[in-house]
Structure 1
């Protein structure tokens, strides 16, 4: 989501989030599911154990049940956050404080933008399958308040923006797990989406 606590470099051979999401999409297509389809798949490995994340408070099941009452609003919000995350990565690519950005920075930001764009494609595709379209306008109060804390100028601004992105990513990962668990029976197609995204985040 609007996102990043990801490493600035990638280990060769490590499964990427893009591959995880594409696998989930293929499974969804093979199952031919839409809203209200059959039983959910076996829970992912990541869902079988609680996450240990450095957060001061945690999302409740009550929150998940509430947002799942409006799948369109949930996915519309998610799609916009993925769009913002991709845009943010592309912008950060050119915000290195020195005259020339190091190669690893360019590769990392480019890869991040590509992954977030893939997530946007997947989420918006699910929306289209259900006859929904992304809204033209979107505001995120949570992210907006965090960005107000960013100091301006040079390295400190870059560092603060990365901290904010990491915090948003942590919260997103935590909520993926809650949503995947709560949606397993009521919205299995949504459960699979968030289980796959969470697996890729923690994997």
Structure 2
């Protein structure tokens, strides 16, 4: 590869709308390089990459990984060569380098052979603001454990929301964490009613609730 920046992991080889296929650098050892003493997730579902485009960085989430000889061609081409190891990335938004602001959706698309970089914790802060008096912390980002994930509390309570998953995936734990966050986060005026036919939440909420 021509681009030898330490954060560069590959190049763009295929663009179809918001779906971008990236050929990984064949010289990159493994899929979890170490950068500034931190293991960076690259070749895993949910990993986050950035594609510089002038004054903005396009941000994408890895949705598919593969090895060329193990898969068929990628749509809409009949014969697409993407390299020995590749990623498929879904563009989710862009960060303005001047203001540092993140916005959903993209105003431009990458070109062929554009370099693709893994995103560092500092670069992802505009996407994942820290918990504060407005935001409720719910956990950490699996692809970058140094980042906390928070929800806008006002938007959460005034809109419809659903937490879904298979049996044992952690739905009750997630809801309990949200309720505990409201109780301990300083929202003293919040009143929450839980319909709990199986008695799952009484233990989790302890002294914070009445049954």
State the TM bucket, normalised to the shorter chain: under 0.3
Name the TM-score, length of structure 1 as normaliser: 0.26
Larger radius of gyration: 2
Name the TM-score, length of structure 2 as normaliser: 0.26
Higher RCO by CA contacts (8 Å cutoff, separation 6 or greater): 1
Would you tell me which structure has more helix in proportion to its own residues?
1
